[in-house]
Amino acid sequence: MFDFSLMLEKFMEYRTQIAEAVGETFLMVGISVLAAILLGLPLGTMLFLTAKGQLRENVTWSVILNGFVNVVRSFPFLLLVVFMIPVTRFLVGTAIGTVAASVPLGIVSIAIYARQVEQSLFEVPRGVVEAAQSMGASKLGIVCKFLFVEARSGLVLGLTTSTISFISYSTVMGVVGGGGVGDFAIRYGYQRFETELMAAVIILMIILVQLVQFAGSMISRWLDKR
């Protein structure tokens, strides 16, 4: 019989370690979200623009960008982390630790969100782009003043879905000393047979994901005036 009071007790006993783990998760996911916005958004936009029949149709670039996104996404994530160790070492000086763990996580984040962005942009009616062109809008103007405006609720929902994936991916970062709640749950809860502690962390994760989804859906709905 599962003991809830024992779970709470364990939770309180390990609260400083848990807080630390949560902080590490936030750092890794935060860096990933930032990478997704700063690099995934432009990459997704380029995926859209270079596609057939779009504003900057370009077969070469389309193949290259799609290739990158597909290759990154087809890696089993754990293998990508290991595979990228030399790159990580080159970028941040070390392959171990939370910041180092954020490098492969960031790369995956960019690829995941870029696809979401591309899909959202494809949903904007073609006529909107045409109206923009008829006003003499430049390509940058069309992207910023028309495409992003009309696709914004989809862009936010995509980022929400992506963020939840990032949280999930971040849980395996223990392999390169990245820490985080997932790593904590495995080391303390699973490997030391403290099942109650593991359950507490899982509940914590569920609450976190619920909150992210709730916030994302709220913002998206608020932005959607269609």
Partner 1 sequence: MISLQEVSKSYKSGEGIFEAVQSVSLTVREGTIHGIIGPSGAGKSTLLRMMNVLELPDQGKVMVGGKDLTTLPEKELRLARRSIGMIFQQFHLLNNRTVSGNVSVPLELAGIGKKQRKERVQECLKFVGLPDKARQYPAMLSGGQKQRVAIARALAHRPSLLLCDEPTSSLDPGTTAEILDVLRHINKTLGVTIVIVTHEMDVVKEVCHAVSVVEQGRLTDGFELEVRPGKSDITQRPSYREQLLGKAGMRDV
Chain residues binding partner 1 by CB under 8 A are: 125, 127-128, 130-131, 133-138, 141, 145-146, 149-150, 152-153, 223-226
**Three-state DSSP state, 96:** coil
Give the Cα separation of 204 and 23 in Å (integer).
13
Give the Cα separation of 2 and 8 in Å (integer).
12
Give the Cα separation of 13 and 57 in Å (integer).
59
CB-CB contact of 164 with 209 (8 Å): yes
Give the torsion through C-alpha atoms of 211, 215, 217, 220, to 10 deg.
-160
Q: Computed from CA positions of residues 176, 64, 133, 130, in that sequence, does the dihedral angle turn out positive or negative? A: negative
Query: Of 93 and 127, which CB lies nearer to partner 1 in the complex structure?
Result: 127
CB of 122 to partner 1, least distance (A): 17
Query: Of 13 and 130, which CB lies nearer to partner 1 in the complex structure?
Result: 130
Query: Of 145 and 187, which CB lies nearer to partner 1 in the complex structure?
Result: 145
Query: Of 73 and 145, which CB lies nearer to partner 1 in the complex structure?
Result: 145
CB of 39 to partner 1, least distance (A): 24
Q: Which of 24, 58, 205 is nearest to 139 (CA)?
A: 58
CB of 58 to partner 1, least distance (A): 16
CB of 52 to partner 1, least distance (A): 13
Query: Of 126 and 192, which CB lies nearer to partner 1 in the complex structure?
Result: 126
Query: Of 193 and 222, which CB lies nearer to partner 1 in the complex structure?
Result: 222
CB-CB contact of 4 with 75 (8 Å): no
For residue 82, how many other CB atoms are within 10 A of its CB?
Answer: 14
CB of 220 to partner 1, least distance (A): 12
CB of 223 to partner 1, least distance (A): 7
